[in-house]
Amino acid sequence: MSSHWNGFGDNTSKQIPQRKTVIDQALYQRALAVADQPVEERDLINAALRAFIARQAQFRLAGMGGTAPDLPDVPRRRPDESA
């Protein structure tokens, strides 16, 4: 996983200055333990931030509660039927 990939369609995110942050070591070790493969601290933190942003977006979307009932259906990918 690249440290520049923001997970939202572009990989041109600007880097902010480095920050010193206190991280719960037990939580950090648990995250490393459940990772499918070895992961660098920077990549783990970036993934956590992306997951947090996505979760907050889900809450906002759910909070709208269908406030756009006239919105046309969104095209979705369908499985290839020829396979």
- Reported as a pLDDT band with limits 50, 70 and 90, residue 7 is low
pLDDT score for 78? 75
Rg (CA), the chain: 18
Q: Using one digit for the tens of pLDDT, what is the confidence trace for 28-80?
A: 999 999 998 999 998 999 999 999 999 999 998 888 776 777 778 878 877 77
pLDDT: is 11 or 54 the higher one?
54
Distance from C-alpha of 28 to C-alpha of 26, rounded to nearest angstrom: 5
Q: How many domains does the chain fold into?
A: 1
| Residue 63 token pair | 């909070």
Parent domain of 7: 1-12+20-53
Q: Is residue 65 part of a domain?
A: no
CB neighbours of residue 13 within 10 Å: 13
Of the chain, the end-to-end C-alpha distance in Å amounts to 31
Q: Is residue 82 part of a domain?
A: no
- Give helix 41-64 / helix 25-34 axis angle, nearest 10°: 90
